[in-house]
A and B are shown apart, each in its own frame.
Chain A
Amino acid sequence: MNAHVQAPAAAVKTTCPYCGVGCGVIATPDGAGGAGIAGDTEHPANFGRLCSKGSALGETLSLDNRLLHPVVDGVRSSWESALGTVAGGLRKVAEQYGPDSIAFYLSGQLLTEDYYVANKLAKGFLGTPHVDTNSRLCMSSAVAAHRRAFGSDTVPGCYEDLDEADLIVLVGSNTAWCHPILFRRMVDARAKRGTKLVVIDPRRTQTGEEADLFLGLKPGTDTALFSGLLVHLASAGAFDYRFVLDHTTGLDGALERARSIAPDIAATAAATGLSEADVGQFFTLFARTKRVVTGFSQGVNQSAQGTDKGNAIINCHLATGRIGQPGAGPLSLTGQPNAMGGREVGGLANMLAAHMHFAPEEVDRVRRFWSAPNIITGEGMKAVALFEAVERGRIKALWVMGTNPVVSMPRADAIREAIKGLDLYVVSEAVSDSDTAMTTGRKTVLLPAQAWGEKDGTVTNSERRISRQRSFLKSPGEARADWAIISDVAKRLGHGEAFAYPNAAAIFREHASLSAFENNGSRDFDIGAVSDISDTAYAGAAPVQWPLTKRGGKQGRQRLFADGQFFTFDKRARFVAVQPPALAQAVSADFPFVLNTGRVRDHWHTMTRTGKSQRLSAHRDVPFVEIHPDDATAMGVTHGGLATVSTAHGAAVLEVMVGEGMRRGDLFAAFHWSGATASEGRVGALARGIPDPVSGQPELKATPSAIAPAVYRSRGFLLTREQRSLPAGWWWARATIQGGSGLHFATQESSREVALMLRGMFQGLEIAEYADHARGRYRFAAYDGERLVACLALTPGDAKPGWESEKTYFAAPDLEPSARRALLSGRAETASAGPTVCACHGIGLDVITATIAAGAHSVEAVGAACKAGTNCGSCIPEIRKLLPQALARDAA
C-alpha cells in the first residue's frame, strides 16, 4: 500500500502545515491518494500565494514511511492492545512513582483540539504538570517577553502592518527563506510605498542580501543594539511620553540599564562589532520613522537571553508608543503552524490552560470547568529540564506526539540514550522511520496518527488568526486523530465522561468556552463568541482573528493595545531592564567557533514531510556547514569538501560551504538532517542548549565548536528507484529525486571494492559501467529492460560529483543512446558522429552527410574530405546511397 485510495472529491480549503504564517491552501484530491495544491486567494495570510514548501505539498502525500498500525515493542498490535498497554503503563507509573513521573512532549504541529485534549488529560486528570512542547524550542522566549511586557502572551499587531509600515526591522530572522510569503509582502510594501528594510543577523542570509541596511552583528549582542537604540531614542526626542506616562511603568530602570550597556553609538558599535556609521544610520531611521514593525524570530528566541532580547525590542516600541497601530509594533514571527494554538490551550509547562497560569483562583477555575479530579497547582518542567529528568530517571513514562525530539533537541544523542531507560515510551506519529519513532524505551508503543490532509481541526498563526485544517484524504491503515487516541486512553483510565468527544468541533466548543469562562476581559485570549458554534458552522468556518468575545461579536480584532490597556493588574505595560549581552558559553582553544543552527529554504524541521518531495530536496541535498573563507583557509577545509564539526556534546560530518555571508569565527549548520536522512548529519546533537532562565528556551545558535577536514578516499552518488542503504562506515546523505531516491556518499573503499559491491546489489539487471580503477573512477548504470533503475558515480578525492543531468535521466521514461553514454562518461551529451558507416576510419553517418552538405558531391570527394570509404571500400555503396539523399535535403 503506497497511496491513499478514495474517489476524487471537490476542492477543500485548508491551512498549510509548515511555518507560522498559516497560509490558506486549496487541496483538490485526485482520487489516487494525491492532491492538486493551490494557494487560497481568499485567505488573508497569503491571498493565494504559496512558497516552495507549500506548493510542493502534493509531493508529500505518499504513504512511503508512514506508520499505519499500532506497534508495541516492535511488533504490530491492535489498537485495543496498544491503548491498553499505554493506559496500563501510565497507571502503573503513576501508582508506583506518582503522577508527576509522567511527561508529555507535544508539538506545534498538533491541531488545537489535539493539544487541548492532551493538556486536559495530563494537567486535570493524570495530574502531571510535565507537559511541554517543541514550541519551547521555537518561540517561548517571545511568549515570555510578551507576558513580561503586556501581562499576556499577546501578539499586538497583524500581517497588514507589514503592508503599511515605512520601516521593517527583522531581527534574527531569515524571513526570505523561513516565512517567504510574509517576506513577499514586505518586498511588495517596499515597491508600493518605499518601505525600508533593515536586517539584523550575524549571517548575511538571503534576507540580509535584500536589505536596505544589513547589520551583521556579533552573535548574542542584540540586547546591546536595542539598548543603544533605546538610549538614542531618548536623546533624539523620539519617545512618546504621553503613552509612556499613561500606559507604562518601568521606563527609568530600563533606560538606566540600557545606558549602562550601550550609552552611545560608539559603545553600541563596539559591543556589537558593527560600524558606527551603520549603527547611527539604523538609529536615525528608527527614530524618524513612526510606522515601524520589528519582526523577530529564532535568532532572538533561541538564546539563553532570548526573553531579554525580546523585551529590549518591545521596550523601544513601548517608548515610542508604536504598538497596536497600523504599520507599527513588535511582531513575533512564529516557526510552527500551531505554536500559537498550543499557547492558547496552555500546552506548555509554565501554563495551565487558556492563557491561565497558576494563581490559586486560576487553578480553581480550571478545576471547576473541567471537573478535574487531579488538577495541578504549579509549573512543570520545560523541555530541556524535562529531558534531563528523563536522563536522571525522574521521569518514568514519556508520551511524545507529532515531533522528533531525538533529532531536534539540543544534546540529542544524550536524549536518545536517556529514552532507553524509560519504563514506558509512547510515540504518536505519522511516520515510522523518524529517529524518535526508531528509539526505544523498556516498553515502547507507537501509535499511528493522522497526517496533514487527513486530520481535521484548527490552527492559529502568528497574527492570532484561527484557520481550519481540513481533511481531504481518507486515513490510511489504522491511523487515527490524536484527540481520539488520547480520549481513548483517558477512558481506559476511568475518565470517560470528561473525554466523550464525538468530534473535533465539540472539543473546539469546550476550548472556546474555557477561554471565556469567568473571563470578563481579564484575559486576552477569549473566543467565547464561538463557544456554541454548530458542527456545520465549524466545518465551514472562515479564518478569523482572536479575541472573539461574546460582547465583541464574531469579528475578530486585528490589533490590540492601541488603547494602552494591557493585561497586567494595573493595565500598564512594563519596561524590562535587560541583562548585559553574553553568550551562555564562551569559545575556547578546543572549540574556537560559535556554531549557529537554523533552517534552509526548502526543508521543514526533520524532513519527515519535505524530504518526500524531489523539488524540495534539490535545493540543499546534503547536510552542510557554512564558514567564512578566511576561517576555511585557516582550518584547511574547502568548499564542497567534507568536514567534521564537533562540540563537547556531539559531532557531525557536513559538507563545507564557504561564503562571504558568514562572520569570521561563526559556523552555521542546518538542523534538518536526521539518522533517517544522513549518516552523520544530526546537528541537534551538537548544541548544548543552555536554557533562558525566564522562558526555558535553549540557546541553539551559539555552541562553542571545532571544525576539521573529514578525509575520505572518494566521493560519489547513487540514484535508485527504491531507497537503498550503504555499508556502515560510509558517509551518506539521502535526498528524494524524481522517480527515486538519491544518496551522496563518501567512502574509504577503493573503486574496485565499490564496483564489486554495486554489482552484487543489482544482480540480475543489465549493467553498464565505466571503470578506470587506476584513477579511482567508476560509474555504473543498471537497466531493467530499457528502464534505468540505478546509477552511480565515484570520483577520487574531496569533490562531490554533480548529479543534475543524471537526475534528469533518472526522471525520463527511456533514454537515448547519447544519454546512456553520458551516464557512463559523466560528460555532457555531445553531438554524435552518428552510426558508424566507414569502419576502417570510424566515420559516422552524421559526419558523412555533413561532408556531403559541405560540398563533397562524389564518393571520391567524400573520401578526400573525411577519408570515409578510402580503405577497404566496403562502405562505398552506403556512401553512394547517401549522396543523392543528402544533396536533395540540402536543396530542399
Chain B
Amino acid sequence: MKERLVVIGNGMASLRFLERLTERAPGRYDVTVVGAEPQAAYNRVLLSSLLGGEVDEAACAFRGLDWYEAHGIRLITGAPVTQVDRENALVMVGETHVLPFDKLVLAVGSLPIRLPKPGMDLPGIITFRDLADVAAIRKAAVTGAKAIVIGGGLLGLEAAVGLARLGVDTTLLHVMDRLMERQLDHHAAGLVKRAMESRGIRVLLKADTAHVEGDGRVERLVLSDGTVLPADLVVMSVGVRPNAVLAQGAGLEVGRGIKVDDRMTSSDPRIFALGECAEHRGMVYGLVEPAYDQAEVLSRHLVGEEAAYLGTSLATSLKVSGLPVFSAGEIEAPEHAETVVMSDPGLGLYRKLIIGDGKLLGAVFVGDIAEQGWCKTLIRTGEPIADHRDDLMFGRVHAPDSQSLAA
C-alpha cells in the first residue's frame, strides 16, 4: 500500500509542491489535499487585477479539477481543518472528514492582521487576502463610494490600485514616511507614490489610524492627529502573520511560524511545513518566490533525493500598479560603501546600486528592472562587479538569449 500524504492548504505553495512531486514521482504517494477555500489553488498575486476588473476569475485559475484527478490527487475544497491528531496520525475536518496520514504537509499560509484599534470590527472593514475578500470589496465598492486602504506595503498599494480602477474615490494611508519602506529608499518610494497619485489615489504618509466610527457600519476613519476621513469601505492591509494555529494545537514547535529545518521538516519527522506558515532559520517569508523554492526542496526530499533549503535572499521584484519595482540587499549605503544612482522622474526611472569593496551589496530599481536577476546573483555570490558597473546601471544590450545570463 502506498504511503498516504495529506496536504493541508491549497494555495500557491501547495500547488507548486504537488506539481513538482507528481513530475518527479507520479503515483508514489496516495495524496489528499484539503483547502479551506471553496476553490482549487488560484493565483493570489492576481487578486488586485481581479479587484480592478482587469482579469476575471477564470484567468486566476491554475489547474482545473481534471488535473488533480489525472494525477490521482484527491482534492477536498471548502474544508477548514480543525485539528491535527499526531498521536493517531489523523487530520480532522470538523465533523465531516477524518483523514489518516503517513506524511503530512502544512501549507496553510498566513492570516491578515487587523489593527487593534476601536471600531475595527465594524461591517465595511475588510481584509484583502483571498477571493472572498475581493468579492466583498467589489460589492462594497459601488459608484460614489469612498474607500480607504490602510497599509502602504505591496498588498495595500495593489488594493488601492484595484479600487481606483473601479472608479472608487480611494485614499491610501501609511503610517511610515514612505511607501514600502522595507524594500524602497525614499527616491524609489517617491516614484511609486507618484505612480499611485497618477492613478487618482490620494496617498497620506505618516497617517496613524486612531479609530473607526460608524452607526452599524463604517462611516469615517479618524487619524491620531484628529483628521477625519469619511469612508464607506476600509480595506485593511497592514500585514500578515503565519498561520500556526493548527501546529500549535498539535504541539509542534512554533516560533513566529511553524519551525522547520532545511528539509522543511517540523519538530515531528512525519510533518512538514512550507510557504508563509513556515519559519526557517528564524525567517518567515511573505512572498511567492521562497515558497516555490521550498516546494522544490520538499518535493525532492519526499521522493528520496538529497535537497536542502538554505533560505531565499531577500529580494523583491514586482509591479506596483504597472510600475516595475525591484529591490535586493541593502537599500541605503552602509559606511564606506559607494552609491551609484540614475534617476529620470519623467520616465519613472530610478536605479541605485550600493557597492562596497567592489561587490554589489544592494540594488533598488524602479521603472526598468531588467538586470534584477543578475543583481540578485551578484549580491548572493559576492563576486567582484568592476567590469559590470555600467551594465548594471544602464542595462545590457537586450536579446532573448542574453536572459540566460540573468539567472
Q: Is B43 an interface residue (CB 8 A)?
A: yes
Pair B319/A836 contact, Cβ less than 8 Å = yes
Pair B55/A877 contact, Cβ less than 8 Å = yes
A845-880 to B contact mask, C-beta < 8 Å, 1/0: 011001100100000000001110001111011001
In the complex, chain B residues whose CB is within 8 Å of the CB of A831? 397-399
Pair A821/B347 contact, Cβ less than 8 Å = yes
Selected contact of A769 from candidates B46, B338, B343, B407, CB within 8 Å: B343
Closest-CB distance, A771 to chain B (whole angstroms):
5
Pair B324/A841 contact, Cβ less than 8 Å = no
Closest-CB distance, B326 to chain A (whole angstroms):
7
In the complex, chain B residues whose CB is within 8 Å of the CB of A841? 317, 372-373, 403, 406
Q: Is B254 an interface residue (CB 8 A)?
A: no
Bound Cα distance from A773 to B342, whole angstroms:
12
Pair B342/A770 contact, Cβ less than 8 Å = yes
Q: Is B208 an interface residue (CB 8 A)?
A: no
Bound Cα distance from A871 to B342, whole angstroms:
28
A775, A786, A836, A876 pick with most chain B CB within 10 angstroms: A836
In the complex, chain B residues whose CB is within 8 Å of the CB of A770? 341-343, 393
Pair A847/B373 contact, Cβ less than 8 Å = no
In the complex, chain A residues whose CB is within 8 Å of the CB of B55? 877
In the complex, chain B residues whose CB is within 8 Å of the CB of A854? 400
Q: Is A11 an interface residue (CB 8 A)?
A: no
Pair B400/A768 contact, Cβ less than 8 Å = no
User: A866's closest neighbor in chain B, by CB?
Assistant: B403
Selected contact of A871 from candidates B46, B289, B370, CB within 8 Å: B289
Q: Is A783 an interface residue (CB 8 A)?
A: yes
Closest-CB distance, A212 to chain B (whole angstroms):
48
User: A772's closest neighbor in chain B, by CB?
Assistant: B340
Closest-CB distance, B188 to chain A (whole angstroms):
14
Closest-CB distance, B360 to chain A (whole angstroms):
13
Pair A783/B289 contact, Cβ less than 8 Å = no
Bound Cα distance from A842 to B342, whole angstroms:
18
Closest-CB distance, B342 to chain A (whole angstroms):
4
Q: Is A781 an interface residue (CB 8 A)?
A: yes
Closest-CB distance, A651 to chain B (whole angstroms):
37
Pair B368/A820 contact, Cβ less than 8 Å = no
Bound Cα distance from A854 to B399, whole angstroms:
12
Q: Is B45 an interface residue (CB 8 A)?
A: yes
Pair A769/B400 contact, Cβ less than 8 Å = no
Q: Is B292 an interface residue (CB 8 A)?
A: yes
Q: Is B251 an interface residue (CB 8 A)?
A: no
Pair B43/A873 contact, Cβ less than 8 Å = yes
Closest-CB distance, A754 to chain B (whole angstroms):
15
In the complex, chain B residues whose CB is within 8 Å of the CB of A820? 344, 346-347
Known pairs A851-B400, A866-B400; A842 contacts B344 (CB<8 A):
no
In the complex, chain A residues whose CB is within 8 Å of the CB of B54? 877
Closest-CB distance, B248 to chain A (whole angstroms):
29
Pair B317/A839 contact, Cβ less than 8 Å = yes
Pair B288/A872 contact, Cβ less than 8 Å = yes
Residues from 350 to 405 in B contacting A, C-beta threshold 8 Å? 355, 368-373, 389-390, 393-395, 397-400, 403
Known pairs A839-B325, A844-B398; A833 contacts B288 (CB<8 A):
no
Pair A874/B403 contact, Cβ less than 8 Å = no
Q: Is B345 an interface residue (CB 8 A)?
A: yes
Q: Is B349 an interface residue (CB 8 A)?
A: yes
In the complex, chain B residues whose CB is within 8 Å of the CB of A825? 342, 390, 393-394
Q: Is A634 an interface residue (CB 8 A)?
A: no
Pair A836/B397 contact, Cβ less than 8 Å = no
Residues from 20 to 62 in B contacting A, C-beta threshold 8 Å? 43, 45-46, 49, 54-55, 59, 62
Q: Is B318 an interface residue (CB 8 A)?
A: yes
User: B341's closest neighbor in chain A, by CB?
Assistant: A771
In the complex, chain B residues whose CB is within 8 Å of the CB of A880? 59
User: A851's closest neighbor in chain B, by CB?
Assistant: B400
Residues from 231 to 290 in A contacting B, C-beta threshold 8 Å? none
In the complex, chain B residues whose CB is within 8 Å of the CB of A767? 345
Closest-CB distance, B392 to chain A (whole angstroms):
11
User: B62's closest neighbor in chain A, by CB?
Assistant: A873
In the complex, chain B residues whose CB is within 8 Å of the CB of A843? 370, 403
Pair A877/B46 contact, Cβ less than 8 Å = yes
Residues from 758 to 812 in A contacting B, C-beta threshold 8 Å? 766-775, 781, 783, 786
Pair A842/B46 contact, Cβ less than 8 Å = no
Q: Is A824 an interface residue (CB 8 A)?
A: yes
In the complex, chain A residues whose CB is within 8 Å of the CB of B325? 839
A contact patch SS: mixed
Bound Cα distance from A871 to B290, whole angstroms:
10
User: B55's closest neighbor in chain A, by CB?
Assistant: A877
Closest-CB distance, A852 to chain B (whole angstroms):
10
In the complex, chain B residues whose CB is within 8 Å of the CB of A873? 43, 45-46, 62
Q: Is A889 an interface residue (CB 8 A)?
A: no
In the complex, chain B residues whose CB is within 8 Å of the CB of A771? 339-342
Pair B398/A821 contact, Cβ less than 8 Å = no
Q: Is A827 an interface residue (CB 8 A)?
A: yes
Bound Cα distance from A267 to B372, whole angstroms:
75
Pair A769/B342 contact, Cβ less than 8 Å = yes
Q: Is A502 an interface residue (CB 8 A)?
A: no
Selected contact of A847 from candidates B43, B393, B398, CB within 8 Å: B398
Pair A874/B369 contact, Cβ less than 8 Å = no
Bound Cα distance from A841 to B289, whole angstroms:
11
Known pairs A770-B393, A841-B317; A821 contacts B344 (CB<8 A):
yes
Bound Cα distance from A831 to B340, whole angstroms:
23
In the complex, chain B residues whose CB is within 8 Å of the CB of A840? 289, 317-318
In the complex, chain B residues whose CB is within 8 Å of the CB of A867? 373, 403, 407
A820, A830, A831, A833 pick with most chain B CB within 10 angstroms: A833
Closest-CB distance, A832 to chain B (whole angstroms):
7
Closest-CB distance, B109 to chain A (whole angstroms):
15
Pair B347/A817 contact, Cβ less than 8 Å = yes
Known pairs A768-B344, A867-B403, A873-B43; A842 contacts B324 (CB<8 A):
yes
Known pairs A817-B347, A865-B400, A873-B43; A842 contacts B394 (CB<8 A):
no
Pair A839/B319 contact, Cβ less than 8 Å = yes
Selected contact of A830 from candidates B46, B59, B369, B395, CB within 8 Å: B395
Bound Cα distance from A108 to B116, whole angstroms:
90
Residues from 308 to 342 in B contacting A, C-beta threshold 8 Å? 317-319, 324-326, 338-342
Pair A836/B369 contact, Cβ less than 8 Å = yes
Selected contact of B370 from candidates A773, A827, A836, CB within 8 Å: A836
A705-722 to B contact mask, C-beta < 8 Å, 1/0: 000000000000000000
Closest-CB distance, B149 to chain A (whole angstroms):
19
User: B325's closest neighbor in chain A, by CB?
Assistant: A839
Bound Cα distance from A323 to B407, whole angstroms:
82
Bound Cα distance from A831 to B55, whole angstroms:
31
Bound Cα distance from A873 to B43, whole angstroms:
7
Closest-CB distance, A819 to chain B (whole angstroms):
10
A772, A783, A830, A832 pick with most chain B CB within 10 angstroms: A772
Pair B46/A836 contact, Cβ less than 8 Å = no
Pair A774/B394 contact, Cβ less than 8 Å = no
Pair B370/A833 contact, Cβ less than 8 Å = yes
Known pairs A830-B398, A842-B406, A874-B49; A836 contacts B344 (CB<8 A):
no
Q: 8 closest Cβ contacts across the A-B interface?
A: A768-B344, A774-B338, A825-B394, A836-B324, A833-B398, A874-B45, A839-B319, A770-B342
What are 13 A-B interface contacts by the 8 Å CB criterion?
A766-B346, A820-B347, A821-B349, A831-B398, A833-B395, A839-B318, A842-B317, A847-B399, A847-B403, A867-B403, A871-B288, A877-B49, A877-B54
CB within 8 Å of A: which residues of B? 43, 45-46, 49, 54-55, 59, 62, 288-289, 292, 317-319, 324-326, 338-347, 349, 355, 368-373, 389-390, 393-395, 397-400, 403, 406-407
Give 12 new A-B contacts, CB below 8 A, not counting A768-B349, A824-B344, A839-B324: A766-B345, A820-B347, A825-B394, A836-B369, A836-B370, A840-B289, A842-B369, A843-B403, A844-B370, A873-B62, A876-B43, A877-B49
CB within 8 Å of B: which residues of A? 766-775, 781, 783, 786, 817, 820-821, 824-825, 827, 830-833, 836, 839-844, 846-847, 850-851, 854, 865-867, 871-874, 876-877, 880
